[in-house]
Amino acid sequence: MKITIVCDVLGSPNNGTTLAAYNLINFLKSRGHEVTVVCADKDKEGVAGYSVVPIKNFGPLNALLRANNVYLAKADKNVLSRAIEGADVVHILIPLHLGSAASKIAQKAGIPITASFHAQAENVTAHIACMNSRFVNHLVYLYFYRSLYKRVDIIHYPTRFIKEVFEKHVKRTMPCRVISNGVNDIYFTKRENIRLCDKFTIFCTGRFSKEKSQQTLIKAVANCNFKDNVKIYFAGCGPREKRLRRLAKRKGVDADFKFYTRDELPIALSGADLYVHTAEVEIEAISCLEAIASGLVPVISNSKRSATKNFAIDERCLFEAGNWRDLSQKISYFYNDPKQIQAYKQKYGEFKEQFRQEDCMRKMEQMLEEAASAKKQNER
């Protein structure tokens, strides 16, 4: 097939959405499909298979977006039209300006459209201090629908959680597939555990931003009577790193902050004792699944606005969202009884198999083929 993929925000592979995009692009290419990617990444200028559009100017908001390493694409209709022309299917990754314009061009040309649901309303409203406003979040979901999803033939939801959230807000159901973004095989590889340090080590992966709520883990460890024998490894980057470093220092918590490469992360995960996932807003935390695939037992925030809580086997692997006292008790349970860590590792053994990336990517390929095939049959 000839497939056009449109992504308002691509950039470096340092977040879940970007990793999901590159995984899909690389898989489709490996399967022999002709893939054209439309994005605003200047480093893709002249690279085969990429069509680059300008970065959109938001005036006074530019500084805020740059602080969060966000660069949004401007919809250049000429670039989009050339990239979409002759495609069997157009797949859109984010419901913003570029994706919206691409859906209108594809619809007018009679080309089938699929679109992933990678952006929660809170991912947008967190940047404008409205993350906890139900009304504003509701308006964002309505915008997502009107700007993109009402024109889509099949919607890809990474989890049933976000499917139900979106359908509740727009009060309608649409043709869809629920498919995980999947975990790469490198995380399933058995390796000799090389401990990160002599202390009890807790790993926490995620962008350093408000909705990820890493401060909850720092406060929880600070409350443990064995805190001097604990070290937290925060894997990621983001605008709140300095704030988190200051909090850890003030609380006397041993914490390391680092961005791990694709090759470094699986090795580091395999050398930890426990994984804690603090995020309160999330569609699908691949980072949590990567930790589980690597053999770690997770302790996960039970936030109503996160799908990640569904990865918990039982209440021992959940803590009340934002409640550092509850998290402290859950960490203490596993610290004081190491045999339970081994028991839970066995429980997660079968659970993690359903998230192998290649199986998930094949389902994505099938979804694209179904959309293209349905359009051709309708034309006969």
Q: How confident is the model at residue 131 (pLDDT cuts 50, 70, 90)?
A: confident
Q: Is the pLDDT of residue 68 over 60?
A: no
Q: Would you state the pLDDT for residue 122?
A: 86
Q: What's the residue count for the chain?
A: 380
Whole-number Å distance between alpha carbons of 249 and 188: 34
Average pLDDT value for the chain:
91
**pLDDT value of position 330:** 97
**Residue 307 near residue 283, CB atoms below 8 Å:** yes
Between 136 and 57, name the one with better pLDDT.
Answer: 136
Taking alpha carbons only, the member of 154, 148, 151, 149 closest to residue 97 is 148
- Tokens 């919607």 belong to residue: 155
Angle (deg, nearest 10), helices 357-379 and 16-30: 70
pLDDT band, residue 60 (cuts 50/70/90): low
Mean pLDDT of 157-177: 95
Question: Do 79 and 38 touch, CB atoms closer than 8 A?
Answer: yes
pLDDT at 59: 65
Q: What is the DSSP string of 236-279?
A: ---TTHHHHHHHHHHHT-EEEEEPPPTTHHHHHHHT-SEEEE--
Q: Residue 100, CB half-sphere, CA atoms under 13 Å: how many? A: 12
Q: How far apart are CA 232 and CA 228, in angstroms?
A: 11
Sequence-separated (6 or more) residues with CB below 8 Å from residue 84: 4, 90, 102, 105, 106, 109, 111
What's the pLDDT band for 379 if we cut at 50, 70, 90? low
Q: CA 252: distance to chain centroid?
A: 31
**What are 319's strand-pairing partners?**
301
Residues 6+ apart with CB under 8 A from 225: none
Q: In what order do the strands lie in the sheet with 2-6?
A: 50-52, 34-39, 2-6, 89-92, 113-116, 154-157, 176-178
Most confident of 57-71, 136-150, 192-206: 136-150
* pLDDT score for 166: 96
**Domains of the chain, with CATH numbers?**
2-182+356-379 (3.40.50.2000), 185-355 (3.40.50.2000)
